[in-house]
Structure formats: C-alpha cells, structure tokens
Structure 1
Amino acid sequence: MATYVAFLRAINLGATRKFPKDAIVAATEGAGFDGVATHINTGNVRLETRMRSRARIEAALETAYREDRGFEVPTMVYPADELRAVVDDADRLGDGHDGKHYVWLLKEAPSASLREELEALTTEHERVGLSERAVHLLIDGGFLDATLLKPIEKRIGVTTNRNVTVLRALVPKWLS
C-alpha cells in the first residue's frame, strides 16, 4: 500500500467547523483507508491505500468528511514523494532566509503562465517560489505583515496553507 498525506482546509475555525483529530481518524478509516494518523489539530492526515488516483482519494475523503461533519472539507492529497519534494524545495528556496516561510498546498498544479505571474509578485521583503503543486511565500516580517497573501490566494484556487515547520516535521515522522 502507498502512503499519502492529506491536508484539510478550514477546519477547527469557529464554532461551526469543528473536526477533532479522533473524528478525522474515524471518518478516514470509515472511508476504507488504513494506517491513519493525525498531526496537531489543523488537518494533517497520514493514510495508506491501494488507490493510485489522487483525485479518487481526495473525492473519497471529501465525501466521508462531508457526511461525518455536515460541511465541505476541501482536501489536498500528496503522495509521499511529492510531499518530500515540496519540503526539499522549501529547503532550497529558504536557504539563508531567516524570516517566516509559508506553503500553500494546491489541489491542482498551476499553469506555466500562472507560475510566472506568481513568481513575478516577489518584492524586496516577500519572495514567492513554486513547487509542482505548492506555492512558497518567504516573508521578512510576520504573517500579518505580508502584502502578498491576498494577491496569491486570489490566483491559486482550492488550497490550504501550512507553516513550513509543520511540513518539515511530517516527512521524518510519517514518510521515513
């Protein structure tokens, strides 16, 4: 069986979008996935499956989560090698950077023209870089100081955001 990591968008925000870790595990296992584990309460889920289609895995998880919670939970699924590549890209892009580093994990890979458009947003204090299905934002200040958050999010479609520290923790924890 292959290992995947699913990233859930917009859970545990406010009173109406609660999805505790044990409920995520139960819903994921109920959808037929094995080896399920979670990391912190922000929607990071390790799973194993014989399925090979990322789109089918995402659809099965989104259906299970909607049925369990009663609201949509957009889910981005990364095979182990693709998540490792995102972290490798983060290390390469962030080499020598002392500020914050955030990563948007995308449902679909951006087109070549969108990639160019996003990279062109780079400023003196905010640098944009891309992986296959991830957009990296390196910020000299804090997250709330960033001016590129909204311009990036307007362009990239269905996504969820993680601090690079979380992604770096998942690779040795789940994919070694």
Structure 2
Amino acid sequence: MTTYAALLRGINVGGNRKLPMADLRSLLTGLGHGGVRTHLQSGQAVFSAGQGDEDSLAAELTGAIEARFGFRVDVIVRDHAYLRAVAEACPFPAAELTGKQLHVTYFSAPVTSERFAAIDAAAHLPEEFRLGDRCLYLYAPDGLGRSKLAEALSRRPAKDLIATSRNWNTVLKLVELTAAEQ
C-alpha cells in the first residue's frame, strides 16, 4: 500500500463548486481506498491505495467527483516520498518564514524555466520564485493575496497542465499526514 495526497483545485471557494470533505472521504472510501482523511475544507485528502499510480488515481478521482457532483475538479495526486522531497528541497529559508509567506504550486507535469521566461523577476522583488520537481516555490513576504508575482505566474496557463497552490503550513501538514500512514 502506498499513501497519497489528493490535491483538488478550486473547490469550496466563494460558495462555488461545493464539495463537503465528508462526501470526499466517502467517495474515496467507495473507490476502495483506505486510511482516508481530509485536511481543511480547501481540498486535500490523504488515502492509501494498493494499485494505480499518481496519474491514474487522479483521473479516477476526477471522474468520480464529476459523476457524483456534476462538475469537474482538477486533481493532482502525489505520494509521501514526493511530498517529503518537495519540502526538503525548498530553496527558501522556510524555518525563518511564516506559512503565508511561502507557497508551493504543484503541477501535473514537469515545467521548464522557458514557461516563465517572460516574467521580469527583478521587477517583483522582494518576491521570488524557483522551480522544483513538478512544482514551483513562491516566496511572497506580504502573502499570496497581495503578490504581484503570483498574479504574473498564474497568467501562464496551459490547457494540458493542472496547477494548484498550497501554503507552506499545508505543504508540511501533507508530509506529516502521508507519513502517518507509511
């Protein structure tokens, strides 16, 4: 059995695309997954699975949500080892920052620096970003809501790429929750 975190994009925001966490837990259990737990209301679930890989599990959950709730939700699934590696590879001094200052955007596939080449990084200082393994680390000293760099980064959508962001507190909590099931 492998333990995974499912990261759902854009649910329970502003009263739109409501997906109660109890229903998400029930859905995952109904799909045959064990150790199902959720974190917060913003779309994080932890579960264990004996079969499948990250992509097939994400597709399965996406389809099940659409079938049950009538709307599509983009889902990224990552295992404990990946989540731990992302936290350990943080290029910013995470221990010195608050959770609202540091964010990770998880991508469904690798991205290259060329994707963000048009962004004038110097114009956004002291905000900074660095690419990682299928993720992007964002240092936003005034928080994500006030970040002009986050806004510029989000203008680079790709139809074949899912992206969803979590603050550093949630990044660490997902590492902890997936480790508990190992």
Percent identity, please.
25
Distance 1:146 1:14, change over 3 A: closer
CA distance in 2 between counterparts of 1:70 and 1:160 reads 21
Q: Conserved in 1, the CA contact under 8 Å of 2:4 and 2:178? A: no
Q: Does 1:135 align with 2:114?
A: no
Unaligned runs of 5+ in 1: none
Q: What value does the CA root-mean-square deviation take over the aligned residues?
A: 2.2
Residue 138 of structure 1 aligns with an amino acid whose one-letter code is: Y
Structure 1 contact 85–131 (Cα < 8 Å) conserved: no
Q: Counterpart of 1:13?
A: 13
| Counterpart position of 2:154 | 153
Please state whether the residue corresponding to 1:19 is helix, strand or coil: coil
Do 1:94 and 1:101's aligned partners in 2 also have CA atoms closer than 8 Å?
Answer: no
Asked if the contact 2:105–2:136 (Cα under 8 Å) also holds between the matched residues in 1, the reply is yes
Partner residue of 2:117? 117
Task: Measure, in 2, the Cα distance between the counterparts of 1:56 and 1:118.
Answer: 33
Whichever residue aligns with residue 172 of structure 1, its letter is: E
Secondary structure of the residue that 2:121 maps to in structure 1? coil
Is the 2:46–2:177 contact (alpha carbons within 8 Å) kept by the matching residues of 1? no
The 5 Å alignment of 1:13-92 reads: 13-90=13-90, 92=91
1:118 Cα deviation (Å)? 8.1
SS in 2 for 1:149: helix
Which residue is 2:179 aligned to? 175
Which residues of structure 2 form unaligned runs of 5+?
none
* Distance in 1 between residues matched to 2:6 and 2:150, nearest whole Å: 22
Which amino acid counterpart does residue 178 of structure 2 have in structure 1?
A: W
Shifted more, 18-27 versus 93-102: the winner is: 93-102
Shift in Å, 1:171: 1.5
Q: Which residue of 2 aligns with 1:93?
A: 92
State whether residues 118 and 128 of structure 1, in contact with CA within 8 Å, keep that contact through their aligned partners in structure 2.
no
SS of corresponding position for 2:111: coil
TM-score, scaled to structure 2: 0.85
Instruction: Go from structure 1 to structure 2 and tell me whether the alpha carbon gap of 1:7 and 1:22 turns closer, same or farther (over 3 Å shift).
Output: same
Is the CA contact 2:5–2:45 (under 8 Å) kept in the aligned structure 1?
yes
Distance 1:27 1:43 in 2: 13
Contact 2:113–2:131 (CA under 8 A) maintained in structure 1: no
CA distance in structure 1 between the partners assigned to 2:154 and 2:167 by the alignment: 15
Whether the aligned pair in 2 keeps the contact of 1:35 and 1:48 (CA below 8 Å) is yes
Shift of 1:144: 2.5
| Aligned-partner SS, 2:125 | coil
Provide the C-alpha distance between the structure 1 equivalents of 2:79 and 2:120, rounded to a whole number of angstroms. 28
Seen in structure 2, the aligned counterparts of structure 1 residues 64 and 86 have a Cα distance that, compared at 3 Å, is same
Moved more, 117-126 or 41-50: 117-126
C-alpha contact (below 8 Å) 1:2/1:48 kept by paired residues: yes
Count matched residues: 174
